[in-house]
């Protein structure tokens, strides 16, 4: 599943081609996604301009700016699901199987949505983000100042849940999925099985910094190559080449040589080093 770095990589990849461009056509080949494609998608989009793309957690937010002054602006909320990708094509490029939605711009570039499993969606975001149930209860962005050790320490008090599923809770922080939580906990030297409420403020300071470092590195490397993820320009991610623990169970720790162990936490596989993580 594309995680925050993959979605941010997609945003950065597609933005230069479509921001500020007029939409001339919308083609919906398969409307039956996880959430059905809105019936009025083409009607509302054609003749508008695309604003500056943003991201909230794993949602891409595409502002739509009307040409007429008396028309209302809107925001498209796009989620890539388990296997989706948004890529840039050109007018005339033939669609492939599972290319479900095209947004065509006057410049000749096409924003093309590809999703074999159809678990993603495109939908209208509510005008008031605080009232949109998909966004209202999300925690802070991990690379923002709002996310820090004090925040983690405060939320974790009296929590018996293991620290890894605690860190993966989107109400705590967005974007720390299974891969990046495992890598951040390794970097911070924290055993993923430890109760969240039994970790000191100092160690949470280190964990918050590790989350920021791991995610920033993954974004710089273009995300992690999982299944068929590619960026908006069709390039695979390369962060997988730098993973310390995820997917490496049974292999020696790159830091101390101890054999890495795999356990299950919160119904998710987790790999850690018994020697480095306490």
* 268 noted as active-site residue: yes
From 34, 134, 159, 268, active-site residue: 268
* 3 noted as active-site residue: yes
Question: Is the separation of the CB atoms in 214 and 240 below 8 Å?
Answer: no
Distances (CA, A) of 136 to 73, 126, 139, 143, 193: 20, 11, 9, 19, 29
Q: Using CA atoms, how far apart are residues 246 and 115, in angstroms rounded to an integer?
A: 25
Strand 268-272 and strand 54-56: pairing?
unpaired
Q: Using CA atoms, how far apart are residues 4 and 239, in angstroms rounded to an integer?
A: 13
Alpha helices in 107-177 (DSSP H): 149-156, 163-167
Instruction: At 257, list the tokens.
Output: 């040589």
* 252 noted as active-site residue: no
Q: 3-class DSSP state for residue 155?
A: helix
What radius of gyration, in Å, describes the C-alpha atoms of the chain?
Answer: 20
Cα dihedral angle (178, 184, 189, 191), rounded to 10 degrees? Answer: -20
Question: Is the separation of the CB atoms in 34 and 121 below 8 Å?
Answer: yes
* β-sheet with 99-105: strand ranges across: 23-28, 99-105, 109-114, 85-90
Q: Using CA atoms, how far apart are residues 93 and 109, in angstroms rounded to an integer?
A: 10
Q: Using CA atoms, how far apart are residues 215 and 221, in angstroms rounded to an integer?
A: 10
From 11, 44, 58, 87, active-site residue: 58
* 2 noted as active-site residue: yes
Catalytic amino acids? 2-3, 58, 268
């Amino acid at each position: 599943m594309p995680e925050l770095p993959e979605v941010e990589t997609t945003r950065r990849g597609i933005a230069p081609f479509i921001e500020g461009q007029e939409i001339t056509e919308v083609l919906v080949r398969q409307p039956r996604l996880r959430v059905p494609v809105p019936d009025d998608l083409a009607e509302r989009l054609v003749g508008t301009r695309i604003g500056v793309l943003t991201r909230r957690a794993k949602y891409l937010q595409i502002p739509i700016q009307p040409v007429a002054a008396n028309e209302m602006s809107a925001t498209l909320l796009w989620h890539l699901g388990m296997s989706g990708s948004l890529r840039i094509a050109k007018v005339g490029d033939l669609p492939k199987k599972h290319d479900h939605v095209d947004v065509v711009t006057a410049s000749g570039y096409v924003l093309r949505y590809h999703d074999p499993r159809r678990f993603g969606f495109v939908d209208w975001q509510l005008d008031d983000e605080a009232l949109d149930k998909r966004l209202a209860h999300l925690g802070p962005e991990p690379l923002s100042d709002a996310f820090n050790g004090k925040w983690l320490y405060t939320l974790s008090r009296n929590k018996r849940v293991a620290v890894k599923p605690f860190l993966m809770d989107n109400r705590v922080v967005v974007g720390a999925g299974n891969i990046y939580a495992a890598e951040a906990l390794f970097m911070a030297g924290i055993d993923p099985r430890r109760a969240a409420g039994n970790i000191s403020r100092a160690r949470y300071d280190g964990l918050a910094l590790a989350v920021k470092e791991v995610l920033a590195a993954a974004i710089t490397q273009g995300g992690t190559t999982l299944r068929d993820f590619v960026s908006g320009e069709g390039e695979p991610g390369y962060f997988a080449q730098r993973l310390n623990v995820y997917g490496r169970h049974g292999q020696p720790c790159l830091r101390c040589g101890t054999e890495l162990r795999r356990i299950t936490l919160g119904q998710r596989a987790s790999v850690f080093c018994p020697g480095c993580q306490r």
